Amino acid sequence: MRVLVLSDIHSNLEALDACLRAAPSHDLVVNLGDIVGYGASPNEAAERSRELGHHIVRGNHDKACTGQMDLHDFNPVAAAAALWTQESLKPENLEWLSRVLPGPMPLTEAQLVADSAASRESAAAEVPLLVHGSPLDEDEYVISIADALDVLMRSSVRLTFFGHTHIQGGFSLRADVGGQSFRPGYSTQDEREEISMSLAAGTRYLINPGSVGQPRDGDWRAAFLMFDNSASQVTFYRVPYDIAGAQKRIVGAKLPARLASRLSEGR
């Protein structure tokens, strides 16, 4: 079974469309939240996300833009974008977005469970978990190896997909090796690229597909990943997109100009 994993679309329609065009054939789409906020296409991002399936966990911006969270934790630019988004969302999209559930959400798709190990206990551990921030707190940023170990040492789940940091890559923990972090090492800055990684037995993973619509790992290209559970493999992708188009919309919507310029920097 092949799963397309998206996160942090942030109302960037141009980036989302580029990811959907570039993604190889898949059986299922999962979405790790922050569908809206920052970008200028919240309705399109919400409508596309809804069409792609129901394996969605909410992000902090989804909460903020639907009035479910106080904006005092947001910086002024993020807060301005959240208010603009709340006013710009059609009522049906606002209503749908406000009903997206918090993680953690087990990816208990029938085929995935059938493909996994025979015993019930190990089958449960094989079911991937979907979260926005971390399994312990939906709003937590898992940035350092210490953050990741805190999660991995308490987890019995082999594979957890997370977003929120907008940094593609992840962390692993194996008893005899300890904790490690990994980032895909691409060779170009502006071409479509993919890098595959096999998941080792006896190892627990926290894996971030990166951000579709506002990467912050120094790479402007839209990010996503594919998970192939029968091959026990993830493949990270970076794809160029119509960044000028996304920026033009942000400026046209009179959103803060910084939200347009940062897309070029991948910061």
Residue ranges in contact with Fe ion by CB under 5 A = 8, 34
CB 168 within 8 A of CB 217: yes
Whole-angstrom distance, CA of residue 193 vs CA of residue 55: 26
Choice between 164 and 204, CB closer to Fe ion: 164
Residue with the CB atom nearest Fe ion in the bound state: 34
Is residue 224 within 8 Å of residue 237, measured between CB atoms?
yes
Residue number, 155 or 214, with CB nearest to Fe ion: 214
Query: What's the min distance (Å) between Cβ of 117 and Fe ion?
Result: 33
State in angstroms the smallest separation of the CB of 255 from Fe ion. 16
Q: Please say which residue, 41 or 229, places its beta carbon nearer to Fe ion.
A: 41
Q: Provide, rounded to whole angstroms, the least separation between the CB of residue 44 and Fe ion.
A: 17
The half-sphere exposure of 159 on its side-chain side, counting CA atoms within 13 A, is 23
Nearer to Fe ion, 8 or 138 (CB): 8
Residue 251: CB partners within 8 Å, gap ≥ 6? 257, 260
CB of 209 to Fe ion, least distance (A): 12
- 141 vs 186 by CB, closer to Fe ion: 141
Comparing CA positions, the residue from 112, 98, 118, 221 lying closest to residue 161 is 112
- Least CB distance to Fe ion at residue 125 (A): 28
Q: Is 179 exposed, middle or buried (0-12, 13-18, 19+ CB in 10 A)?
A: middle
